[in-house]
Structure formats: structure tokens, C-alpha cells
């Protein structure tokens, strides 16, 4: 009797399955997708119902041949990629390549890679879900059409190498619109007055001026604040009213993809991409010493808060034993999923709740441990009793004025014993907490009685200014995308990373800001492709993809409905789109070389001032545009180095291939040199030094200043710091995906890192 073949995407998942299945099964990894649309052409036949042309991905033929060979010897073939649209498409493409063996090909779905999960999957094999495949096909074809048709227009009108994405461009629009709101915001001054008070019992406390003559207080300037303070001095401060009420704070549901990405961003400072990479590792299996590889969490791409009855029962028993009966609600907590949620999936949870974070800590990398702890704690808290708070509000009269002091005391910690949700300034959820009164401080007010006269210690006026909307953090943008129905669990991380990789959005102090390039491209796309960039339209397309997955809509019809108006917009944009690349905007800035009035042009690195006398005068300058519209020239700072030709000061300039040093007298003297890193070239006998360089594709690397005599090059930035372990002359900087930076020794025989 032959063995059964199981096909998964990754070697890690294959290794974990091998542990449980042993010699009865052969397990092969496809290494992700094996087929896709071709790289160098559209690959979609617009005249034949958008028929996609799939080709074997370069480098995947070897894995596909191994799968075919194993399939020929197997009695049964189980396709086991991830249980989502992408996984279904992988399974379908592999099944196509196994043509003629349909009778022995089955699809199995793992929600968790545990002995229990694997057994359950093998006991209930199904056929490939063509509705789910068609939903993935529709998304892939739509994205290819948008990217392949709009990008060449951007190359012609703005800059070669640019690209557009159906969903990513909408995300850029949201970031740009938020930036416009920030720039348009007019800040207004206001003042608060705080009274520092003392009652008969400690501690001292503070109360804020709340009303005057029954009206909400509005103090617009310091003079008015001082007038109020003058009127308040000498007034008796008397406790007028004390309100105490009990408030329940309920636990939050277990993680879904979006909430995991948001919370990992807030608490762990992980990018969404890093979060999903770490979660994939925890799902597929982590080596646990003698126990071998173990899948620690359920599938991490889900929008359902559902938890299996078995997991729920196990969790309730765990809470009873670990925390006590008072922490266990009489009935399980039930959470509603979004209307579009795939309820066949579960929420993200530990595969075994008794495997607490400290138990596995010794087997996990730091980032893996932190993410597992977050998932485990949230899951445990989701089925615990509410926290009970005693909310206290004290109104204090001072003549016609009312001051208010508020605070809360935790009477029963409930679920907060296991987990507290993170908060982020500027997040809409934070504003909602303020509305609900959930942001009161854990403040013990003194024991007060109505009618009690308080001692006024100090009146403190404080100036404030209204604040513009906050820029999106990655977590906030994911929330915005989710609330507007843009993207799905499997796409959030890709959206966030893609808009940054394409240089349309940059991260400044943890917040997302559109680049000048992003602002220009967004403006052009919004003007000429309003349907593609429309938030509601994009959300409707997501709903249609869901309908295709449910078998309620034909995928070809959905693409056709999209393409009809899109095709007309394409033809119009090719003719009417603003030609940013060639336009010249006149300014009043006078060229200091030939006295012509300079113009604003668009280059590879954004806008710059150029002399209209080019090529006779090649003078250029960087500038900033003030809010008033005034153009201010940014002078190049001198570097302290001098030109080797004419001894004039060298200045830093930015060109097509990055930063370089140039003679300040250009174009009179055209001397240039690369930016030195202060590190001598490590090649034996070479007297050069390492400098910044940039490849033809714009990627920075570091090479020898003596090139082509010396061809030393490195992708890692050399740091002028000797290795403390082997004494090497420099270290290299390695940046990891999540943003972490490691200094390492480039000597292969030395393993120093910090």
C-alpha cells in the first residue's frame, strides 16, 4: 500500500506535520504560490472574459517537479495550504499541475497545526473551493489591470518606475487627506483653571473649573483667565454634590488579524508585516526541545471572533483554576464578528491555553515570545469577568463657579488581571473612551461630605491650543481601512508596507506622512481615476469579492463591471493628465549665475528650482514652500571639506544616485566626490575608503572610493567602530524587517553582534 502525500506551503509547516504523521505520509512544501500572472506582460486577455494567463513562477519548477513525482507514487494527495483565498489558489494551481489524478486529490484545512487539528482535517477532506479560488482570481486580475494600465501613464507624466495599486492607492489617499486636514487646521487658544484643594482628610487633590453661572466655561485668552482668578480669590470652596456609581469595564474579544496588528503596533512597536511574520512562525510550529516542533497559535488571518466549544471549555476551566471562581463569569462571553467575517475560522488564540507564556519562553526568540504572550493574555482575558470600578464625581461651588473633580477606584480587577488593551494618542477608540468616561484616572479622592468647606491652596491657569487631527500610525490606518471596508485580513500588512516601500508614504516619529511624490501621484489619480480612488467604491468591490467567495456573484461579471468605466478613464488620462515631468512653474527667485527667474521642476528626488536657461546655465537649488506660498531657497551647508581642484568649500547635494559632495562654485568647477563613511577599505593593499553609492534601481550600497580599481561592495552600512571581539577595523549595520538594528562584525569567523 502506497503512502499518502500532503502538500503545504512551507518547510516549517511540513516539519511540524511530520512530527504528528510519521512514516505513513510524505509531506512536500510548494514554497508558496507555484503559478502567477507573467511578470513582463499584462497576462489578462481583455477580449476573452479577462482570461488570466498563469505561468510557473521562476524558481518554482524544481519544487513542482518534486511534488509531481511524489504524487505519482501516492494513493491519496492532500492539498493543505493555508485556509484562505491565497491558500485555495495555491491548492488549485497545484491540482491543475496534477492533471489526470483528480480522483485521489483532496483539500484539507488546518485551523491549528496540532495533533487534534491535523486529525480533524484528515477526517473531513473536501474538494478545492472554486468560489474561493474565483474570489482570489478576481482580486488578482483587478489588481493586475489597475497596476499594469495606470503605471505606464505615471511613468510618462511623472517619473519612470512608479506604480499604482487598486487598494494601496486608496490607503495613500487616506494618508494624504489626513495631511490636508492637518495643514488646513487653524489652532485656537483656550485656557483652563485648576484649583489645588485640601479637605478635612488627605490627600490633597485637584478640580477643574467646569461651569460659571450654569454655563459651560470657555476661556479664550490669558487676560480672561486672570479676571476669573481675581473673582475666585476669597470665594469659599464648598463641596456641593458627590456622585458615586459603579461601572463595569468589559473585556475585549480575542484577537482577529486587524486587532492583533494594531495592538502589536501599540504595545510591541511591531510593523504589521513583522507581526504577521512572527504569527506565521507561531502558527506553523516552533521547536520545543524534546517535544519537537509545536504549533502554538491558531491560523492568524481571520476576521472572526468565534472560539470553538472545546477551546472555550478548556479556557473556562483554566480561569477557574488559575484565577479563582470570582473571575469566571456564569456564562461564556459571546462577541459579535463583523457582517463580512468568515465564521468558518476561529479567532487567533493559543492552541493550548495551559501552555502559558512562561512555559514556552525558553524556546522562543524574544519577538516570538512577546507576540505569543500578547495573544495568550488577550485570549484568557476575553473570557474573564468584567472589572468593577467605583466612579466618583465631586462638584465644588466657588460663588457662581463650579469646579469638578473626578476619579475612579478599582474595586474588582476582573479581566485586567490578565490583560489591558493598549491606548494610542489620536486613535478614534481613545476618543470613544473619553465619551464613555473610561479615561478617568485611577485616582483616590479624599473622603468628602456634601457641604464641607475646602481649603484653596492654589489657582493655576494653563494655556492650551486646539490640536489638529493626529497623523495615522500604522495601527490607526489599519483601523481606518477596516472600518471603511477596505482590504481584508490577508491584505492589511501588505498594504501598509507597500505604500512605504513605494516611497508614497514615510514614517516620521511613528506616524505616517505622505511624501511629496505620494502627494503628487495621489492628486493625479484622484483627478483622473475617481472610481478607483473612491473609498466607498473600493469597499463595494471588497463586498463583491466576498459575494464571489460565497457563490453569489460571477467573478467575470464583477471584473467587467469595473473595467467598463475604468477603460474610459484610461483613455482620457493618457491625453489630459497633467505632465508633471515636463512642466515648469515660474517663481520670483533670481538665478545667482545668470539673473534669469528660476522655475520649479520635478525630478527624481522631488521638486527643485532650476534655471530656465538650461543647458547654458545648469544652476539648481533646493527650496521649501512656506504656508503663505513664498518660495524660500535652502542653501547647501558647507561640509568642512574643500574641492581638490579649486580649493573652494564642498557642499552636500542630492542627485539621481543619492547624496554626493560637490564644489560650491558649480558649474564653474564640476568637481564631485562620494560621501565618505570614515571607514578604510578592507581589501588588502587598497588605500581607498568606503563611500555611499546607489544602484541603477535606486538601492543604496557601500563601495570603495577607488572603483573600478577596487570592486569591494557591501549592502550593509559600515560603521567606524572596531569590533570588540576580534579587533576588526569596523562593524556593519543590519536592519531587520521590524525596524530593529543590529551591529555585527563583517568577519565571517567572528560572530560578534550587539
637 — pLDDT class (breaks 50, 70, 90): low
Over residues 74-83, the pLDDT tens digits come to 999 999 999 9
Residues whose CB falls within 8 Å of the CB of residue 435, separated by 6 or more in sequence, listed in order: none
Report pLDDT for 308: 94
Lowest-confidence region among 138-152, 468-482, 490-504, 660-674: 660-674
Report pLDDT for 343: 61
345 — pLDDT class (breaks 50, 70, 90): confident
Residue 653 has pLDDT above 90, yes or no: no
Over residues 30-61, the pLDDT tens digits come to 999 999 999 999 999 999 999 999 999 999 99
**CA–CA gap between residue 754 and residue 738 (Å, rounded):** 16
Report pLDDT for 683: 87
Q: Which long-range contacts (CB under 8 A, 24 or more apart) does 545-549 make?
A: 545/135, 545/138, 545/139, 545/488, 546/135, 546/340, 548/131, 548/134, 548/135, 548/138, 549/85, 549/131, 549/132, 549/134, 549/135
Structural domains of the chain ordered from first start: 4-128 (3.40.50.140), 137-184+470-576 (1.10.460.10), 196-221+239-250+387-463 (2.70.20.10), 257-367 (1.10.290.10), 585-716 (no CATH)
Mean pLDDT rounded to a whole number for the chain: 91
Residue 203 has pLDDT above 60, yes or no: yes
Lowest-confidence region among 316-325, 633-642, 646-655, 734-743: 734-743
Is residue 260 within 8 A of residue 300, CB to CB? The reply is: yes
Give the three cell numbers for residue 395: 462638584
- At residue 545's C-alpha, the angle toward residues 570 and 299, to 5°, is 130
| Residue predicted with more confidence, 747 or 91 | 91
Residue 426 has pLDDT above 70, yes or no: no
Report pLDDT for 253: 97
Residue 372 has pLDDT above 80, yes or no: yes
Q: Where are the alpha helices (DSSP H) in 252-335?
A: 257-268, 272-284, 309-322
Report pLDDT for 35: 97
Residues whose CB falls within 8 Å of the CB of residue 230, separated by 6 or more in sequence, listed in order: none
- Which of 582, 584, 614, 609 is CA-nearest to residue 598? 609
Residue 580 has pLDDT above 80, yes or no: yes
Report pLDDT for 127: 96
Over residues 286-295, the pLDDT tens digits come to 999 999 999 9
Is residue 738 within 8 A of residue 710, CB to CB? The reply is: no
Residue 439 has pLDDT above 60, yes or no: no
The CB-side HSE value for 224 (13 A sphere, CA atoms) comes to 10
Report pLDDT for 622: 84
What's this model's pTM, rounded to 2 decimal places? Answer: 0.82
Give me the catalytic one of 20, 54, 283, 299.
299
| Residue predicted with more confidence, 604 or 178 | 178
Kindly write down the DSSP assignment for every residue of 339-370, as one continuous string: TT--TTSPPB-BS-TTS-HHHHGGGS-HHHHH
Residue 440 has pLDDT above 80, yes or no: no
For the chain, the distance separating the N- and C-terminal CA atoms, rounded to the nearest angstrom, is 54
- Percentage of the chain with pLDDT > 90? 73
Residues whose CB falls within 8 Å of the CB of residue 640, separated by 6 or more in sequence, listed in order: none
725 — pLDDT class (breaks 50, 70, 90): confident
Residue 432 has pLDDT above 60, yes or no: no
The backbone torsions φ and ψ at residue 628, rounded to the nearest 5 degrees and listed phi first, read -75, -10
361 — pLDDT class (breaks 50, 70, 90): very high
The backbone torsions φ and ψ at residue 421, rounded to the nearest 5 degrees and listed phi first, read -65, 140
Report pLDDT for 56: 97
Report pLDDT for 638: 66
Give, in order, the Cα–Cα distances in Å from 201 to each of 236, 245, 454, 585: 18, 21, 10, 71
- Which of 228, 198, 226, 223 is CA-nearest to residue 211? 228
The predicted model gives 444-451 an average pLDDT of: 92
Report pLDDT for 425: 64
218 — pLDDT class (breaks 50, 70, 90): very high
Instruction: Check if 299 is active-site.
Output: yes
Report pLDDT for 303: 92
Give the three cell numbers for residue 105: 486529490
The predicted model gives 707-715 an average pLDDT of: 87
**CA–CA gap between residue 147 and residue 135 (Å, rounded):** 18
Over residues 124-150, the pLDDT tens digits come to 999 999 999 999 999 999 999 999 999
Amino acid at each position: 500500500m502506497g503512502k499518502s502525500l500532503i502538500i503545504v506551503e512551507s518547510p516549517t509547516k511540513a516539519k511540524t506535520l511530520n512530527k504528528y504523521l510519521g512514516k505513513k505520509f510524505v509531506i512536500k512544501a510548494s514554497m508558496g504560490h507555484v503559478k502567477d500572472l507573467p511578470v513582463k506582460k499584462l497576462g489578462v486577455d481583455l477580449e476573452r472574459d479577462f482570461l488570466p494567463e498563469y505561468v510557473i513562477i521562476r524558481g518554482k519548477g524544481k519544487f513542482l517537479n518534486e511534488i509531481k513525482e511524489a504524487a505519482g507514487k501516492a494513493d491519496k494527495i492532500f492539498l493543505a495550504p493555508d485556509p484562505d483565498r491565497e491558500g485555495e489558489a495555491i491548492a488549485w494551481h497545484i491540482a491543475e499541475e496534477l492533471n489526470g489524478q483528480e480522483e485521489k486529490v483532496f483539500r484539507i484545512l488546518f485551523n491549528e497545526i496540532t495533533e487534534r487539528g491535523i486529525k480533524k482535517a484528515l477526517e473531513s477532506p473536501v474538494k478545492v473551493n472554486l468560489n474561493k479560488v474565483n474570489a482570489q482570481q478576481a482580486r488578482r486580475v483587478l489588481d493586475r489591470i489597475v497596476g499594469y494600465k495606470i503605471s505606464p501613464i505615471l511613468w510618462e507624466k511623472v517619473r519612470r518606475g512608479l506604480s499604482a495599486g487598486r487598494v494601496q492607492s486608496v490607503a495613500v489617499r487616506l494618508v494624504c487627506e489626513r495631511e490636508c486636514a492637518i495643514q488646513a487646521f487653524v489652532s485656537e487658544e483656550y485656557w483652563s483653571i485648576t484649583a489645588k484643594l485640601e479637605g478635612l482628610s488627605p490627600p490633597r487633590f485637584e478640580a477643574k473649573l467646569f461651569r460659571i453661572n450654569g454655563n459651560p466655561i470657555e476661556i479664550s485668552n490669558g487676560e480672561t483667565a486672570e479676571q476669573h482668578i481675581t473673582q475666585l480669590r476669597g470665594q469659599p470652596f464648598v463641596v456641593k454634590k458627590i456622585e458615586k456609581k459603579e461601572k463595569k469595564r468589559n473585556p475585549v474579544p480575542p484577537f482577529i488579524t486587524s486587532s492583533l496588528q494594531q495592538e502589536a503596533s501599540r504595545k510591541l512597536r511591531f510593523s504589521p508585516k513583522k507581526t504577521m511574520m512572527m504569527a506565521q512562525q507561531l502558527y506553523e510550529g516552533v521547536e520545543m526541545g524534546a517535544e519537537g516542533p509545536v504549533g502554538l497559535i491558531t491560523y492568524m488571518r481571520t476576521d472572526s471572533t468565534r472560539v470553538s466549544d472545546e477551546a472555550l471549555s478548556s479556557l473556562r476551566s483554566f480561569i477557574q483554576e488559575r484565577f479563582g471562581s470570582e473571575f469566571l463569569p456564569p456564562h461564556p462571553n459571546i462577541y459579535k464578528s463583523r457582517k463580512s467575517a468568515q465564521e468558518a475560522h476561529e479567532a487567533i488564540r493559543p492552541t493550548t491555553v495551559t501552555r502559558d507564556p512562561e512555559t514556552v519562553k525558553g524556546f522562543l526568540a524574544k519577538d516570538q515570545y512577546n507576540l505569543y504572550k500578547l495573544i495568550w493574555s488577550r485570549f484568557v482575558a476575553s473570557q474573564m469577568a468584567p472589572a468593577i470600578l467605583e466612579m466618583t464625581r465631586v462638584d465644588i461651588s466657588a460663588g457662581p463657579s463650579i469646579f469638578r473633580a473626578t476619579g475612579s477606584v478599582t474595586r474588582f480587577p476582573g479581566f485586567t488581571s490578565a490583560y489591558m488593551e493598549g491606548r494610542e494618542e489620536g486613535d478614534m477608540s481613545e476618543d470613544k473612551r473619553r465619551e464613555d468616561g473610561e479615561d478617568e484616572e485611577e485616582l483616590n479622592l479624599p473622603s468628602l461630605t456634601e457641604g464641607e468647606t475646602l481649603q484653596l491652596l492654589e489657582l493655576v491657569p494653563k494655556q492650551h491650543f486646539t490640536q489638529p487631527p493626529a497623523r495615522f500610525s500604522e495601527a490607526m490606518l489599519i483601523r481606518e481601512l477596516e472600518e471603511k471596508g477596505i482590504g481584508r485580513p490577508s491584505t492589511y500588512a501588505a498594504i501598509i508596507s507597500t505604500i512605504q516601500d513605494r516611497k508614497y508614504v514615510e514614517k516620521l516619529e511613528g506616524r505616517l506622512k505622505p511624501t511629496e511624490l505620494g502627494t503628487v501621484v495621489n492628486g493625479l489619480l484622484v483627478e483622473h481615476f475617481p472610481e478607483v480612488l473612491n473609498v466607498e467604491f473600493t469597499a463595494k468591490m471588497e463586498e463583491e469579492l466576498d459575494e464571489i467567495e460565497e457563490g453569489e456573484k460571477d467573478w467575470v461579471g464583477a471584473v467587467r463591471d469595473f473595467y467598463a468605466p475604468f477603460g474610459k478613464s484610461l483613455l482620457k488620462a493618457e491625453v489630459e493628465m497633467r505632465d508633471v515631468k515636463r512642466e515648469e512653474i515660474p517663481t520670483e527667485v533670481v538665478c545667482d549665475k545668470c539673473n534669469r527667474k528660476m522655475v520649479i521642476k520635478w525630478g527624481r528626488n522631488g521638486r527643485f528650482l532650476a534655471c530656465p536657461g538650461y543647458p547654458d546655465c545648469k544652476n539648481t537649488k533646493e527650496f521649501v514652500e512656506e504656508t503663505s506660498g513664498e518660495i524660500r531657497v535652502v542653501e547647501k551647508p558647507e561640509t568642512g571639506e574643500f574641492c581638490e581642484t579649486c580649493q573652494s568649500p564642498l557642499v552636500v547635494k542630492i542627485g539621481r544616485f543619492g547624496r554626493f559632495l560637490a564644489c560650491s562654485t558649480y558649474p564653474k568647477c564640476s568637481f564631485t566626490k562620494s560621501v565618505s563613511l570614515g571607514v578604510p577599505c578592507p581589501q588588502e593593499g587598497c588605500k581607498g575608503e568606503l563611500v555611499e553609492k546607489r544602484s541603477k534601481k535606486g538601492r543604496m550600497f557601500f563601495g570603495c572610493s577607488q572603483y573600478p580599481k577596487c570592486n569591494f561592495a557591501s549592502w550593509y552600512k559600515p560603521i567606524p567602530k572596531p569590533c570588540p571581539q576580534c579587533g576588526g577595523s569596523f562593524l556593519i549595520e543590519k536592519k531587520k524587517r521590524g525596524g530593529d538594528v543590529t551591529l555585527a562584525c563583517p568577519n565571517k569567523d567572528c560572530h560578534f553582534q550587539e
